[in-house]
Every structure is written in C-alpha cells, then in structure tokens.
Amino acid sequence: MTLDARSVPADALVDCDICIVGGGVAGLVLARQLIGHGARIILLESGGLEADSATQALYAGENVGLPYFPLDDARARYFGGSSHKWHIPLGGGRVGPRLRPLDPIDFEERDWVPHSGWPFGKSHLDPYYDRAQRVCQIEPPTFDPGEWDDQKARPQLRLASDEVETIIYKFGLRELFSQQYRNEVAQAGNVTTYLNANVLEIQTDHAAQSVTRLRAGSLDGHQFLVTARLFVLATGGIEVPRLLLLSNTVQKNGLGNQHDLVGRFFMEHLHFWSGVFFPRTPEIIRRMGLYNDIHTVNGVPIVGKLALTEKVLRREKLLNQNIQLFWQKMADPEKYPLIHSPGVLSFKEMCSALADFRLPTHPVDRLGQVLKEMPNIAAVAWRKVGRKIGAIPLLDGYVFANMTEQVPNPESRITLGPERDAFGQNRVRLDWKITPQDIASVVRTQAIIEKTFQGADLGRVYRPLRSEEPPGDLHGGYHHMGTTRMHVDPRKGVVDSNCRVHGISNLYIAGPSVFPTGGYANPVLTIVALSLRLGEHLEAVLN
C-alpha cells in the first residue's frame, strides 16, 4: 500500500515492526525481500513517484575538498533513489548500471592499505552476491572471462603475463529498480510506503541505547512520528551520516558518533584518463571487440576491462583498480599533449556552454582560470582545429579510463555545514580528500601495463602520469562509500558486522556507507548483496 505523507493527520503516531528510511536501491531491495514475511513494514521515502525540484534541493550541500559534483546532482531524491540516474546505453533504448562484485582481496586487512579489512571474507558474501545477480537479472553468476569471451569474434587479449588480466563487467537494467521493484514494494500487502515523508530526526531513549521513534515531515509542514521494533537507514552514503549527525539531542556529537567516526572515511572510486594504447597493427584493433563496446552474451550486456592480478597487487602493494579501453581517432599525445589542467577544463566548459546557449557554471572563476593558462589553451585549441583541417595526423588509440580504489582516509569526510535546508536543518559539507598513495599506485600500475603490452608486442603505451599529483581530470563516480564503516570494534567502525549501529540495539544501516573499503567495483551489486543479507538478519531478529 502507498500513502502520501501529506495526508497523514498531523502528529499522528504510526507503528510497525521494521521501519526502512529511504526507497532507493538499498531500501527497495530490503523492503522487497521482506514482502510476505509476516512483519509489518513501513518505508519512508522523501520523494514522490517523479523528481521534483523542491525535494531534490534538500540534497544541496557544500564541496570544500577535491572538486566534486554538485551534491544535489550527485544522487536522486525520489522513490527509486539514485537508480533513476543510471544512464549507460545498452542498446535497444535500454540503459543500466555497471555491475561487478568486489574481489576477495578487497575484504582483507592488507598491511599496505591503512584501515582496510571487512569483518568477513568474500566467500561469506558469495551466496548473497549470487542472489544479488538474480535480483539484477545478470545471471549466470560467473564472472570468469572464459565464459563471456568469444574465441573467434571477441577474444581476450593475449597478454602472456601474470600481472594483468581481463575482467568482465555486466550491466543491469535501470527499469528493474526505477519501476518494477518500486511497483512490487508499493503494492505489497505487508509494506506501507509513505511518499513525501522526510525523516528529520531519530529519537532515542535517554541513554541512546535504542531508537524509540522517528520524526518525519513533508515539505507542506505536516509532521508525524513512526515507532518500530527495528529501524533501518537507507538514505545513501551522504544522507545516512547527515541524519545521524542531525540527531544529536541525546548524544551531542550525533547518534552512533561516540568515537567521532560518523561521516569520516568518505570514499569514492577515482576516475581519470591514465594512458593511451596505440595498437601495432589493424589486426590487433579488429580483435579488441571484447573491450571495445558493450555487447550481449548469454542474454546479458557485458564489456571486458583490464585489471591487475591479485599476485601483483600483493607483491607491489598496490590498490585495486581497473581500466576500460575507449577507442578514439586521436592526435599522438607525445607530440600534441593531452592537457587536463583547471584552465583547460574551464575552457571546455565555456565552449560547451556557448554551444548550448547557456551560461557556464561559475563564469567569473572560469574566465580567470582560462586567462591564466593561455599557452595551454592555445595548444588544446590547435589540437582540435589541426585535427579538423587535417593538419594533424590521427592514429587509432585506446584511452585508458582508470577507476581505482581509494585508501580509506579519516580526513575525507562529511560534516554538517552552516547552511540550512527548507526544514531548517544543516546541509552537508563534503571534504573529499585523497592521499599520495592513491595516485602513486596508479602511476606504478601504468608502468606494469606498459611493460605487459610491450611484452605481448601489442603496441605502444603512452603514460602521462608520472608524479603523485592528482590529475586535472580526477573525478568520482557518484559512489558515496565508507561514512558509517563496518567494523567489529566500535572504536574503528560505526556499524557491526550485521550493519547494526554499535551501542544501539535496534538501528541498522543499509547501503554503501557501511563499506570499510570500496575495491574498484561499482557499488550496486555489493549494496544489493548486503541488503539481502540484512533482510535475512532482521527476519531472524524478529522471530
């Protein structure tokens, strides 16, 4: 059943067994798993069935660290959550997310990765990963490249190396989450979904040992209370810590924050161009189909990428990362450098804004950056014009799109900022920080890839990264992880191995904020697996 919170009588008190806050990926999977299980479920969702700007504006916040997406654009605040943002074209008008589980090494405590280690290994999560693949409809569950390549049409690169290997990424369908599962939950007999219901405060007993009720409100001024035996926060990796920090009536630093961990360890996957590969012969290009484009095998859209083997990660103490190869006709960057400096990025934004008849974002700052970098702008402009008029020869190249794990960093964090939203609540402030180790690891990886490609006589590799400086085009992937990390020790994590907030008997967290490390894999498959696992646990707790 679905209700609109705006029609709930003011100050009403509604009761259930399990109250889930947030109807995005994690909340939907959890609610769907509990359909028909006897427990009375309430799902409180901030938005409605469609996006609306007033609700979306509740997500606005401040970025004070590395450049990041505007926070009200980095996630979606309506029923279905950020699944509405998935956009990768899969052919036939379909779009969907990239999906892959974490690797076994990602769960380990690694002596070269500070703060690493999950409370359990990958084998513990494997049965849930299998079920998650069923939920995402990307079975058969294997990710073994041998099961997904085609020896004749799309073979794996012959790398003759035990350092670099082919990996497979699968793609799911956005509609499963943004429509189908949403409808199933909305119609379920034992689940009541309240739309336009923003949770504003988590209230506890006087010792903050159990949650007593939630205060929810809609933007028209309605407020009501929800009691439950168990509560689950599934509002995403930025909004979960915000809600805990805002709920500071009893614990003055925020709920679950007795060890100052809530909001810390914000992690992203570091995305940037890390190199270019120029194949030696057209025959090599012809055989790159596995990596070139998304194609369907066994009924599932897939693509091949490259990653380091576990052996070399251990030997060289590197961070886990993968590389997607994007084909382009390009000017040789050895002669015509690829520049990703702030001035060049501003110049590009100004050009595309002009082409779209709109004002660029931050026009004054951007103009200042452009003026400071005129030689770079001239080189980039000549690169573009020279290509157009045929004055610069073009080569077949594959750009390396790098996606790497970030070292968990307590200084990379979410706090409450001074600005307020429409409910009068502090907006978030994101201070995304990385460490020199993050980039050094990619620099070393590129050297390994170059050696591997040369060893296999595949062609030339161009490596722009040489120092530990973050590259100018560094950006995230909308993956907000780590801000309520999981650890058995309350001094090292906000939630325990069952995703229950340490010290609070009936408060749980679903979603990427519980990841202690993020590997390189996009988070959704792991979010789904953990939500299925949490659903099982909650059923056991209730029985």
Ligand X SMILES: Cc1cc2nc3c(=O)[nH]c(=O)nc-3n(C[C@H](O)[C@H](O)[C@H](O)COP(=O)(O)OP(=O)(O)OC[C@H]3O[C@@H](n4cnc5c(N)ncnc54)[C@H](O)[C@@H]3O)c2cc1C
- Chain residues in the site for ligand X (CB under 6 A): 21-27, 44-47, 74-75, 77-78, 81-83, 85-88, 97-98, 198-199, 234-236, 239, 243, 478-479, 511-512, 522-524, 527
Token pair belonging to 447: 């050297």
Q: Which is nearer to ligand X, 27 or 343 (CB)?
A: 27
CA-to-CA distance for 249 and 255, rounded, in angstroms? 9
Contact 191, 1 (CB under 8 A): yes
Q: Which is nearer to ligand X, 90 or 392 (CB)?
A: 90
Residue 403: other Cβ atoms inside 10 A: 25
Residue 127: other Cβ atoms inside 10 A: 12
| Sole residue written with tokens 């290997």 | 165
Measured distance between the N- and C-terminal CA atoms of the chain, rounded to whole angstroms: 24
Minimum CB separation of residue 208 from ligand X in Å reads 19
Q: Give 433-456 as a 3 state SS string.
A: CCCHHHHHHHHHHHHHHHHHHHHC
| Sole residue written with tokens 């959890």 | 30
CA-to-CA distance for 158 and 284, rounded, in angstroms? 10
Minimum CB separation of residue 523 from ligand X in Å reads 4
Q: Which is nearer to ligand X, 98 or 229 (CB)?
A: 98
Minimum CB separation of residue 169 from ligand X in Å reads 9
Q: Which is nearer to ligand X, 177 or 462 (CB)?
A: 177
Which value, in Å, is the radius of gyration of the alpha carbons in the chain? 24
Q: Which is nearer to ligand X, 61 or 81 (CB)?
A: 81
Q: Which is nearer to ligand X, 88 or 294 (CB)?
A: 88
Minimum CB separation of residue 236 from ligand X in Å reads 3
Minimum CB separation of residue 339 from ligand X in Å reads 26
Give every CB contact of residue 28 below 8 A, 6+ residues apart in sequence.
80, 81, 177, 181, 182, 185
Judged by phi (left if over 0) then psi (alpha if -120 to 50, else beta), residue 92 lies in left
Q: What are residue 414's DSSP bridge partners?
A: 430
Minimum CB separation of residue 426 from ligand X in Å reads 13
Minimum CB separation of residue 124 from ligand X in Å reads 20
Closest by alpha carbon to 289, among 155, 399, 398, 449? 155
Give every CB contact of residue 145 below 8 A, 6+ residues apart in sequence.
156, 165, 166, 167, 168, 290, 304
**CA angle, residues 307, 308, 312, in degrees to nearest 5:** 175
Q: Which is nearer to ligand X, 263 or 511 (CB)?
A: 511
Q: Which is nearer to ligand X, 82 or 415 (CB)?
A: 82
Q: Which is nearer to ligand X, 102 or 377 (CB)?
A: 102
Minimum CB separation of residue 330 from ligand X in Å reads 25
Token pair belonging to 485: 């990390």
Minimum CB separation of residue 46 from ligand X in Å reads 3
Minimum CB separation of residue 170 from ligand X in Å reads 10
- The interaxial angle of helices 342-355 and 374-388, nearest 10 deg, is 50
Minimum CB separation of residue 94 from ligand X in Å reads 13
Minimum CB separation of residue 19 from ligand X in Å reads 11
The pairing of strands 2-4 and 191-195 is: parallel
Q: Which is nearer to ligand X, 219 or 458 (CB)?
A: 219
Contact 291, 310 (CB under 8 A): no
Minimum CB separation of residue 484 from ligand X in Å reads 11
* Residue 230 phi, psi dihedral angles, 5° rounding: -130, 145
Q: Which is nearer to ligand X, 200 or 285 (CB)?
A: 200
Question: Hey, CA dihedral for 177, 178, 183, 185, is it positive or negative?
Answer: positive
Half-sphere exposure of 152 (CA within 13 A, CB side): 0
Nearest residue (beta carbon) to ligand X: 24
Q: Which is nearer to ligand X, 331 or 527 (CB)?
A: 527
Minimum CB separation of residue 425 from ligand X in Å reads 9
The 8-class DSSP code of residue 8 comes to S
Q: Which is nearer to ligand X, 179 or 309 (CB)?
A: 179
332: amino acid identity, one letter: D
- Class of residue 26 by CB neighbours under 10 A (exposed 0-12, middle 13-18, buried 19+): buried
Closest by alpha carbon to 483, among 119, 208, 198, 235? 235
Question: Hey, CA dihedral for 174, 175, 181, 183, is it positive or negative?
Answer: positive
Q: Which is nearer to ligand X, 236 or 360 (CB)?
A: 236
| Size (the chain), residues | 543
Q: What are residue 19's DSSP bridge partners?
A: 42, 231
